[in-house]
Amino acid sequence: MSDPGPADLGPADLGPVDPVAVMGEPDASGRFGRFGGRFIPETLVAACGELDTAFRGAWADAGFRAELDGLLRDYVGRPSPVTECHRLSEAIGVRVLLKREDLNHTGSHKINNVLGQALLTRRMGKQRVVAETGAGQHGVASATAAALLGLDCVVYMGEVDMERQALNVFRMRLLGAEVRPASSGTRTLKDAINEAMRDWVATVESTHYLLGSVMGPHPYPWLVRELQRVIGDEARAQCRALLGGADPDVVVACVGGGSNAAGIFSGFADLPTVDLVGAEPAGGAAVGRGVPGVVHGSKSFLMQDEFGQVREAESISAGLDYPGVGPEHAHLADTGRVRYEAVTDEEVLDAFVALSRTEGIIPALEPAHALALVLRERAALAGRTVLLNMSGRGDKDVAQVSDILGPDAGASRRLHQ
């Protein structure tokens, strides 16, 4: 393993709370505070260094930025709008705004990061990408970008997730990607990442690992956040236009690895009057239940037992079924800039139904976690304005939810419980 910084992995006292932890560049060792770094085999050190150099060069290259911006505009459909939820807001007494990443091409925020990394792959002279996916949205986005740019694409997906996201598996294959099942361990997202990293180690000279979230070894957490920063930058300007120059009181997003949350939080982290809140699944609350540890190349909060073994995460959402969290989220929790709360599967299903019936918007199960938190805390949020990142649409989840709710589509579920 290689890591340029200190590697103490035990619990530590939290430092003083920083009311405004601006989401800037990590330090020279790739760390956000005491989290991050590179805990990787020596065979990957050069690849991570190459990626760091390539991204810095590309990000400073007006031509690269113009090409990416053009794709985001003309291919993805950015900027995604901010939608005000009038009926839901009236019902719960909270003014709710949605940043509509569900309206992007491929149906989620994942395409923002994927297009940037696919362009980087071509810039580095590589022809093949490997990716991991849980809910399937990152896999679909990766297959889409590979088809667009003529890259070979292999996507690893846990066998359990392949069963509950069969539609996305078909979409990936239709787009020309090879989907390989991860059959070890829990057969979910964690194991798909393991398989993708094994592939990358074996083929590193010709392959780029198109990592889907703000985790992994440096520079991935920073690189992915910067590629998702477009969400927060757009939302900040859109909210001020909608709110007469004001900012929302609260910004909330779901957190698994945490790329959609990092993207929208980055637009508001420097504003101390804006509360930032992350919603984790109760069965995989890495911030709430984890302790510092190393997984998939970086140090962060991690669910583990007393022997340091990774504990299994559980979530109704395949995209949040992960035992860790991106290292910058661990830092934001450490400093107190972001509050992280866990919600249950039952609360998520209530939110899934509530948004569908009040606004005609069927959310993905992932952002339904964020809405579940808003519904639970509506008394405390009364009269405030909440911006929620609607990071994906629910098409991929309707079959799974149908099996759970039954043929009456959860008719007995009520908004007020």
Q: Token digits for 39?
A: 């805990």
State the residue for tokens 């395409």.
Answer: 111
Give backbone dihedrals phi and psi of 274, rounded to 5 degrees, phi first. Answer: -100, 120
Give backbone dihedrals phi and psi of 200, rounded to 5 degrees, phi first. Answer: -60, -40
H or E element in which residue 193 lies: helix 189-202
Is residue 166 within 8 A of residue 190, CB to CB? The reply is: no
Per the annotation, the verdict on 105 as an active-site residue is no
Alpha-carbon distance of 159 to 240, in angstroms, equals 44
End-to-end CA distance of the chain: 50
CB environment 209-237: b (16+ within 10 A), e (fewer)? bbbbbbbbbbbbbbbbbbbbbbbbebbbe
Dihedral (Cα; 184, 283, 137, 142), 10-degree rounding: -50
DSSP helix/strand/coil, 134: coil
Alpha-carbon distance of 101 to 98, in angstroms, equals 9
H or E element in which residue 275 lies: strand 275-281
Q: Token digits for 398?
A: 């309707």
Q: Which residues contact 40 (CB under 8 A, 6 or more apart)?
A: 1, 2, 3, 48, 217, 297
Residue 56: count other Cβ atoms within 10 Å of its Cβ: 13
Give the distance between the most distant pair of CA atoms in the chain: 56
Residue 7: count other Cβ atoms within 10 Å of its Cβ: 11
Closest CA to 85 of 391, 356, 376, 413: 356
Distance of CA 22 to the CA centre of its chain: 19
Q: Among residues 48, 85, 153, 239, which one is catalytic?
A: 85
Cis amide linkage into residue 219, ω under 30° from 0: yes
Per the annotation, the verdict on 85 as an active-site residue is yes
406 DSSP 8-state letter = T
Q: Among residues 48, 109, 153, 218, which one is catalytic?
A: 109
Catalogue the active-site residues: 85, 109
